[in-house]
Amino acid sequence: MAIFKFFSPYLGMKLESVKELALMANSMRQDVVRMLVSAQSGHTAGPLGMADVFSVLFFHEMSYKPDEPGWEGRDRLVLSNGHICPILYSAMARAGFFPLEELSTLRKLGSRLQGHPSRAKLPGIENSSGPLGEGLGIACGMALAGKMDKSEWRVYCAMSDGEHQEGSTWEAVMLAAKYKLDNLVAICDRNCIQIDGGTEDVMPLGDLAGKYRAFGWHAITVDGHDYGAIMRTLHEARATKGKPTMIIAKTVPGKGVSFAENDYKWHGVAPKQEEAEKALAELTEERKKLEAGQ
């Protein structure tokens, strides 16, 4: 099987229909599998699980100029859970920030596509990340700067649920509420796994939405694979004034690949060749159904 054969529909375009967004997410999931099997290193479960959210963010919600990554009016996306960067790289490539073929260099010596994203390496990356629990603080700083400058751009912060076990996350939660950062939207990948097992076994997180509301945020729980619900929730966040918004996206880790779904052991493991071929066959079959409107 030719591992690096990229689908490239709608490159750099804004998408409106659920079908188009689903096809984009499918393409991105295939990118992730190809990138990881080529690198033989990286994280599988999280990138696959967040493909639908990233499809909506990059191809429906956010404003940016791929040919001018430093454009002042752009929306900022902070990736706090840097280990899911393959899905960010795929979205950026399909949005036109760099050629799709460069995805094959993930984790290779000298590549701009580091195993955890580096702001110094790749234009369009807003923050270097890897250590968990730092992204929301960075996003708060950006959002506060935007408020002070009376800017129209917004800040989106993708987070893991496991990093809510970090105290620094809750310091940022308090700061965002204090300064009424309604230009900040955090999106938590609530897939209930981390590298050592289930989040509720390792360190229970309980009612995250209730916790955020108690800290002064607007909190919404959503199916992270329901495109219409994700779009409505982001619209609700835009309409919310005087407080930041947390979107808790319930996702299936490893979504789209049957043998990886809901298995915490795929958190930080890349597929082998045979596994990648099986995963791509499943995703290709799903794509055919999407194209047929099934």
In 144-290, DSSP assigns E strands to 155-160, 184-190, 193-194, 197-198, 218-223, 245-250
Helical pair 18-39 and 273-291, crossing angle rounded to 10 deg? 170
Calculate ∠ Cα 198-202-203, nearest 5°.
115
Amino acid at 238: R
Per-residue pLDDT of the chain (294 residues; tens, 9 = 90+): 344 444 444 455 678 799 999 999 999 999 999 999 999 999 999 999 999 999 999 999 999 999 999 999 999 999 999 999 999 999 999 999 999 999 999 999 999 999 999 999 999 999 999 889 899 999 999 999 999 999 999 999 999 999 999 999 999 999 999 999 999 999 999 999 998 999 999 999 999 999 999 999 999 999 999 999 999 999 999 999 999 999 999 999 999 999 999 999 999 999 999 999 999 999 999 999 999 987
pTM assigned to the model = 0.94
Q: Which whole-number Å values give the CA distances from 28 to 103, 109, 239, in the listed order? A: 11, 23, 29
Tell me if the domain spanning 18-291 has CATH number 3.30.70.260: no
Q: Report the distance separating Cα 182 and Cα 236, nearest Å.
A: 11
